[in-house]
């Protein structure tokens, strides 16, 4: 296996709205779609579609959504040995996309909140054969910390995408990851620093290097992506695109970067490929 994604899966309930209802109000929305989502699952699918061998370690519920999620992993060639059934509801994400293509997302973790360090131990033999562990923050933080420690112990690179933003994330517990990939608002939350301008973003990213991170990769939407590491400070422009629905674009970026960095070991090339892929 190339990549182990230890993370979330959700059922995306996507309403295309004219506007959000006010408190106590009902409004009609013109369109709806049901999709397989969750940051972990989205990243796993992107990497697998590009050709990586991907193992997913996650928990689904015991409801009608679970079979569909497992079937989607299988359709995409993802190993589902450690997609665990749980006596809980599956994770769901009601998503509202407005006419300007901006999305608002609510996540209900459901079974994802029950993914534990013991689940990592149960899959330890297989995870330890992977070249990269990919993590996000839609599972308990203790499981994320444990997965990073597991990667360090077994000499496996670890990518942490600190999304959605989690004010409780302890930088001291995650600084050993190989790649840390916040977007600008997550970077601001974690550092307490402004990110309005590119120099602001640079300053904030460098504080993470000073805190012991190795590769800080800040995704900046239309402004591109900033990579800072020891001796590296590189702003790669975004691929120009007219956005229709940006849901999952960040996950496509992470999945694609993961695929190429495992395949080539070339971080700059992998970032350029991920920029293009996320824009599609």
Residues that bind ligand RIB (CB under 6 A): 10, 12, 37-39, 42, 93, 105, 107, 138, 247-248, 250-251
Q: What's the closest the beta carbon of residue 109 comes to ligand RIB, in angstroms?
A: 9
Q: What's the closest the beta carbon of residue 13 comes to ligand RIB, in angstroms?
A: 9
Q: How far is the C-alpha of 90 from the C-alpha of 259, rounded, in Å?
A: 27
Q: How far is the C-alpha of 83 from the C-alpha of 85, rounded, in Å?
A: 7
Q: How far is the C-alpha of 157 from the C-alpha of 96, rounded, in Å?
A: 35
Active-site annotation holds for 119: no
Residue closest to ligand RIB (Cβ):
37
Q: Per the residue annotation, which of 23, 251, 266, 280 is the catalytic one?
A: 251
Q: What's the closest the beta carbon of residue 155 comes to ligand RIB, in angstroms?
A: 29
Q: Which residue, 205 or 278, has its beta carbon nearer to ligand RIB?
A: 278
- Strand 10-16 to 54-60 pairing: unpaired
Q: What's the closest the beta carbon of residue 11 comes to ligand RIB, in angstroms?
A: 8
Q: What's the closest the beta carbon of residue 18 comes to ligand RIB, in angstroms?
A: 21
Q: Which residue, 39 or 59, has its beta carbon nearer to ligand RIB?
A: 39
Q: Which residue, 105 or 171, has its beta carbon nearer to ligand RIB?
A: 105
Q: What's the closest the beta carbon of residue 74 comes to ligand RIB, in angstroms?
A: 19
Q: Which residue, 42 or 143, has its beta carbon nearer to ligand RIB?
A: 42
- Strand 215-219 to 225-229 pairing: antiparallel
Q: Which residue, 114 or 176, has its beta carbon nearer to ligand RIB?
A: 114
Q: Which residue, 44 or 228, has its beta carbon nearer to ligand RIB?
A: 44
Which residues does the annotation mark as catalytic?
A: 251
């Amino acid at each position: 296996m190339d990549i182990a994604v230890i993370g979330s899966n959700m059922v995306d309930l996507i309403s295309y709205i004219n506007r959000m209802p006010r408190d106590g109000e009902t409004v009609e929305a013109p369109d709806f779609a049901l999709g397989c989502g969750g940051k972990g699952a989205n990243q796993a699918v992107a990497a697998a579609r590009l050709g990586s061998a991907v193992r997913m370690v996650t928990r689904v519920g015991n409801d009608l959504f679970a079979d569909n999620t497992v079937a989607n992993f299988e359709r995409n060639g993802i190993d589902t040995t450690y997609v665990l059934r749980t006596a809980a509801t599956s994770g769901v994400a009601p998503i509202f996309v407005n006419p300007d293509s901006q999305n608002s997302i609510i996540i209900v973790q459901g079974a994802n909140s029950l993914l534990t360090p013991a689940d990592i131990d149960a899959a330890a033999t297989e995870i330890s054969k992977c070249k990269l562990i990919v993590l996000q923050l839609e599972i308990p933080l203790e499981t994320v910390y444990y997965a990073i420690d597991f990667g360090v112990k077994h000499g496996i690179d670890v990518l942490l995408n600190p999304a959605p933003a989690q004010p409780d994330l302890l930088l001291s517990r995650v600084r050993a990851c190989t790649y840390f990939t916040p977007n600008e608002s997550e970077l601001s939350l974690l550092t307490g620093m402004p990110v309005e301008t590119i120099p602001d973003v640079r300053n904030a990213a460098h504080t993470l290097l000073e805190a012991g991170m190795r590769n800080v990769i800040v995704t900046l939407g239309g402004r591109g992506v900033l990579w800072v590491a020891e001796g590296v400070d590189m702003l790669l422009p975004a691929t120009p695109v007219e956005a229709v629905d940006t849901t999952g674009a960040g996950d496509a970026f992470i999945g694609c970067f993961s695929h190429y960095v495992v395949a080539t070991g070339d971080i700059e090339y992998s970032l350029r490929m991920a920029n293009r892929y996320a824009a599609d």
